[in-house]
Amino acid sequence: MSLDSPSSARVVCISGGTSGIGAALVAAFLATGDRVYTFGRNPERVARLAQRHAVAAGSLVVTVADVTDAAFRAELAARIGAECGRLDCLVNNAGIIRGGGCLEEDLADWRATLETNLIAPFALTQVCAPLLRLSPAPAVINISSACAQHPFATCTSTSYSVSKAGLDMLTRRLALALGPEGIRVNAVAPGVVPSEMWGDATGLIDEIVQRRHVLQHRVVDPVDVARAVLFLASAQAQVVTGTILNVDAGYTLG
């Protein structure tokens, strides 16, 4: 199967695909004719996503679920296996931001952040690994953050930065472990991407972009991240693994 051919539909699983970067990822893979499995915690967003892509080049399976639910992860892998017999691309996108400051952050927020941003990507990759091994060109792509690479004062949630730094190392460890089986593992690290995760923080986003984004002081659009993920999932990146690809308009340069 040639993954460069538009007629070669892949089987793709995207966690947290109902809003923000996740929704852009879903749209991008569907546009290439792929079969996409995704999920989110908000029933209204799930319904909107299903309606938006009712007629698409690819096909969409979207459900209400939480990536931290072990039973759901097992059910999802079983369903993909029964319906498709393999998984070509897993995108660990679901993430949360909790708390602010450093020692002021609540331990409950730390646990929730690590559970969603770091433990769940490992667990979902673990349960999907048998299906990835059945793909002719398997890939895992983690959505990290520029905040993982430096203790930027503009990223006020310590637990978020630490969880994403852990995700970067997990990316490299999985690439090392799964590479001999032909499974490539990479990550994309966006800069500031306006989304529901930020809440009502337009002023803060503008300030951060002006201070940190050196490339024409522009924000990063979810579509920019989706393009990078499509590249890493494609045959064009067939020898790329263990890489953290910054899509940050220069956020990490200064």
Task: Give the number of domains in the chain.
Answer: 1
What whole-number distance in Å separates Cα of residue 19 and Cα of residue 197? 9
Residue 1 lies in a domain: no
Residue 254 lies in a domain: no
Q: What pLDDT, on a 0 to 100 scale, did the predictor assign at position 99?
A: 80
pLDDT in tens, 134-162: 999 999 999 999 999 998 877 789 999 99
Flag whether pLDDT at 188 surpasses 70.
Answer: yes
Rounded mean pLDDT, 189-211: 69
Average pLDDT, the chain: 91
DSSP letter for each residue of the chain: --TTSTT---EEEEET-SSHHHHHHHHHHHHTT-EEEEEES-HHHHHHHHHHTSS-SSEEEEEE--TT-HHHHHHHHHHHHHHHS--SEEEE--------BSTTS-HHHHHHHHIIIIIHHHHHHHHHHHHHTTSSS-EEEEE--GGGSS--TT--BHHHHHHHHHHHHHHHHHHHHHGGGT-EEEEEEE----SGGG-S-HHHHHHHHHHH-TTTTPPPPHHHHHHHHHHHHSGGGTT--S-EEEESTTTTT-
Residue 22 lies in a domain: yes
What whole-number distance in Å separates Cα of residue 35 and Cα of residue 75? 18
Q: What pLDDT, on a 0 to 100 scale, did the predictor assign at position 152?
A: 82
Count how many Cα atoms sit within 13 Å of the Cα of residue 159 in the half-sphere of its side chain.
21
| Catalytic annotation, residues | 160
First to last CA, the chain: 43
Beta bridge mates, 226: none
Confidence bin at 17 (pLDDT 50/70/90):
very high
Whole-model pTM? 0.92
Confidence bin at 1 (pLDDT 50/70/90):
very low
Residue 25 belongs to domain spanning: 11-247
Beta bridge mates, 101: 157
Residue 2 lies in a domain: no
Contacts of 143 (CB under 8 A, 6+ apart): 21, 91, 92, 93, 95, 187, 188, 190, 225, 229
Residue 127 lies in a domain: yes
Residue written as token pair 């899509």 = 247
What whole-number distance in Å separates Cα of residue 91 and Cα of residue 15? 6
Confidence bin at 102 (pLDDT 50/70/90):
confident
Residue 104 lies in a domain: yes
Strands 244-247 and 184-190: parallel
Task: Give the tokens for residue 195.
Answer: 């989304």
CATH code of 84's domain:
3.40.50.720
Q: What pLDDT, on a 0 to 100 scale, did the predictor assign at position 7?
A: 43
pLDDT in tens, 37-83: 999 999 999 999 999 999 899 999 999 999 999 999 999 999 999 99
